[in-house]
Structure 1
Amino acid sequence: MTARSKARDSVVEAGPELWREEWLEPFLEHLSKERRLSDYTVRNYSTAIGRFFGHLEAAESWNGKLGGVGLRDARDFVIEEQRRVSRVTLRNYVSGLKTFFKFWIRQRKVERNPLDGLILPKPAKKLPIFLTQQQVLRLLRGPTLLLEQEIIEPFIAWRDRMVLELLYGAGFRVSELVNLKYGDISFEEGVARIVGKGGKPRICPLGKVAMTALRTWKSEYAPETGYSDVVVVSNSGRPWSSRQIQLLLKKYLKLAELPMDITPHKIRHSYATHLLDNGADLRLVQELLGHSKLSTTQIYTHVNLGRLKAVYDRAHPRA
């Protein structure tokens, strides 16, 4: 070992749990402040790295040095975790760990990435689950029905209507919706300027119905508080969490007698699928969703082609 390598290892050695302070916290600060990733994404990185170092400590074969982590450690971690988590989660863990080690390579604290060369099991291909257009209409009618029956107050009805219309009308991720501010919205143009996953900016058309709900909410019902620039708030004016959006959706799924496993992200799937069903160009849908890669959006064409084939099989005499 060279004198330079010895010096490097002495800097990056940490005892039990000290790795959090020495290596994890500076990395998370880099993600949050320099890359400006969302709190949700930063937590996911933290979980992946925490589980990996927990595995290393439990194995008792690790020398406590960042440069002492090897490919075998990574393989053992994958073998252990694949019994516990899905393939998709496992791939996210490994992606997060690769980013973590790349960061410390750039800081000249380690020389190599121990996850290079790691082969993962391929994730099972799943088609997105979505609602039909008729099912979405039933869902969106929910707040109006409850208001007409005097079960909820106008404040709640307009807020809930706005939330549902923005989820479907703009294809927002739930994290984007809870962080939406009036300053992000052009009421003249009917669009919102969003900074999405990975800090990627995009423009989202909101649609006439969503804009009507948004204008009514803002002008007549939104409470004036210190959080008044945040769009989705409680009656006390406090910003909503992602969990509150999820619970609101569950409430109206139950009312509309729709599958209870539909999530805000599956409403986003419905948004994309219906755009393609009605002739939208794939690259336009990619832009609207904020996908970096076209391949991420192409899964919706599989849904579309599957439905076309089902119609063909039912209708064509020689199918």
Structure 2
Amino acid sequence: MTGTGSPLQLQVDAFLHYLRVELQLSAKTRESYQRQLYTVIVLIDEMGLTEWRQLEVSQVRALAARSKRQGLQSASLALRLSALRSFLDWLVSTDALGANPARGVSAPRHGRHLPKNMDVDEVDHLLDIDTRDPLALRDRAMLEVMYGAGLRLAELVGLNCADVDLGGGEVRVVGKGNKERKLPIGATAVTWLTRWLTLRDRYAPKDDAVFIANSGRRISARNVQKRFAEWGVKQGVNSHIHPHKLRHSFATHMLESSGNLRAVQELLGHANLSTTQIYTHLDFQHLASVYDAAHPRAKREKT
């Protein structure tokens, strides 16, 4: 098998260095590239290739087919081919390769999973929390802000006191790609956030984080996930509660009420409208069910 110092791995390691130093990608993203490309090295080595310039389109297709036979799901296969394509593009840009043989090879299409959301009554039931315990009040504030603004989990956890304008009913968040946006959070979220901030100091905050743990430090994403799931159980909600479900519910309810896809895109911080358009499927499903139940011509004639 190819060793650590092989030309195959040396060039992959140089690419990973480029991702870290030049592109400054996150550690998680770089680990994903490394995992996929190191697996590809093993598969390439088993084909008898010792250099990347020996790789041809037919071999990339064979690599994809073998990965599929080994049980790799379509989404994971697409990720593997994407990592290989990016790496080979980089080799082309450094003149180490004349052309990218993975350019014409794509993973088989896989179905797009629609995000699951709660209806408005379920959200109201979830948020009807007994807040006599200060941490329960904090959790209520987190849930209200998450649903009130459709935040990502990282945006909620990263929220600082300086980012909150209670008078204007707004928060400032930094989303994907370091893009900053201001968002309205709604009167109810402002009320609960105000109540939490009056209690926050008793936990001796160690920094400017809005939401802190018992230790006084910024609450972790894992802790938020755990608390949300626990509240779902305590409140008797039928489905598993997680932060993205609140975000999806926000997007769906906004689209159902306004019909303004562009506005929902801006609120969610989506770079591409196509990402937001997934919610139009949810909206159509809702409208179609109403139509089928109400329109006289929607009912099938009895035979």
| Structure 2 gap ranges (5+) | 299-303
Number of residue pairs the alignment of both structures matches: 292
Give the counterpart of 1:87 among 74, 83, 87. 74
Q: Distance in 2 between matches of 1:105 and 1:98?
A: 11
Give the counterpart of 2:86 among 86, 99, 105. 99
Which piece of structure 1 moves more, 72-81 or 276-285?
Answer: 72-81
Task: Assess if the C-alpha contact under 8 Å between 2:211 and 2:218 holds in 1.
Answer: yes
Q: Name the amino acid aligned to 1:26.
A: Y
Task: Assess if the C-alpha contact under 8 Å between 1:27 and 1:103 holds in 2.
Answer: no
Cα-to-partner distance string for 1:24-44 (whole Å, 9 max, x where unaligned): 23323334x3xxx55544444
Give the counterpart of 2:156 among 173, 177, 185. 177
Q: Distance in 2 between matches of 1:111 and 1:124?
A: 34
Shift of 1:182: 2.5
Q: Name the amino acid aligned to 1:134.
A: D
Q: Does the alignment pair 1:24 with 2:16?
A: yes
Q: Distance in 1 between matches of 2:57 and 2:99?
A: 10
Shift of 1:105: 3.6
Q: Name the amino acid aligned to 2:21.
A: E
Matching residue of 1:78 = 64
In structure 2, relative to structure 1, the CA distance for the partners of 1:164 and 1:23 (3 Å cut) is same
Give the counterpart of 1:224 among 197, 204, 215. 204
Task: Assess if the C-alpha contact under 8 Å between 1:55 and 1:77 holds in 2.
Answer: yes
Task: Assess if the C-alpha contact under 8 Å between 2:159 and 2:211 holds in 1.
Answer: yes
Matching residue of 2:105 = 118
Which piece of structure 1 moves more, 92-101 or 231-240?
Answer: 92-101
Matching residue of 1:135 = 122
With the length of structure 2 as denominator, give the TM-score of the two structures. 0.83
3-state SS, counterpart of residue 204 of structure 1? strand
Matches within 5 A, 1:199-214: 199-214=178-193
Give the counterpart of 1:52 among 40, 52, 57. 40
Cα-to-partner distance string for 1:11-52 (whole Å, 9 max, x where unaligned): xx8458655643323323334x3xxx5554444444433433
Task: Assess if the C-alpha contact under 8 Å between 1:129 and 1:269 holds in 2.
Answer: yes
Q: Distance in 1 between matches of 2:72 and 2:169?
A: 41
Q: Name the amino acid aligned to 1:49.
A: L
Q: Does the alignment pair 1:272 with 2:243?
A: no
Shift of 1:275: 0.2
Q: Does the alignment pair 1:198 with 2:177?
A: yes
| Structure 1 gap ranges (5+) | 1-12
Q: Name the amino acid aligned to 1:129.
A: K
Cα-to-partner distance string for 1:161-190 (whole Å, 9 max, x where unaligned): 122112211111212222222333333433
Cα-to-partner distance string for 1:195-218 (whole Å, 9 max, x where unaligned): 322334333222222222223322
Q: Name the amino acid aligned to 1:160.
A: D
In structure 2, relative to structure 1, the CA distance for the partners of 1:176 and 1:315 (3 Å cut) is same
With the length of structure 1 as denominator, give the TM-score of the two structures. 0.79
In structure 2, relative to structure 1, the CA distance for the partners of 1:221 and 1:127 (3 Å cut) is same
3-state SS, counterpart of residue 171 of structure 2? strand
Q: Name the amino acid aligned to 1:52.
A: V
Q: Distance in 1 between matches of 2:145 and 2:28?
A: 20
3-state SS, counterpart of residue 278 of structure 1? helix
Provide the alpha-carbon RMSD of the alignment. Answer: 2.7
Q: Does the alignment pair 1:234 with 2:226?
A: no
Higher relative contact order (CA 8 A, sep 6+): 1
Q: Does the alignment pair 1:304 with 2:283?
A: yes
Matching residue of 1:4 = none
Q: Distance in 2 between matches of 1:182 and 1:103?
A: 42
Matching residue of 2:274 = 295
Q: Distance in 1 between matches of 2:108 and 2:230?
A: 37
Matches within 5 A, 1:249-288: 249-288=228-267
Q: Does the alignment pair 1:168 with 2:155?
A: no
Q: Name the amino acid aligned to 1:312.
A: Y
Q: Name the amino acid aligned to 2:49.
A: W
Matching residue of 2:301 = none
Cα-to-partner distance string for 1:216-256 (whole Å, 9 max, x where unaligned): 32232243343x21223211122233222211111011122
Q: Does the alignment pair 1:316 with 2:302?
A: no
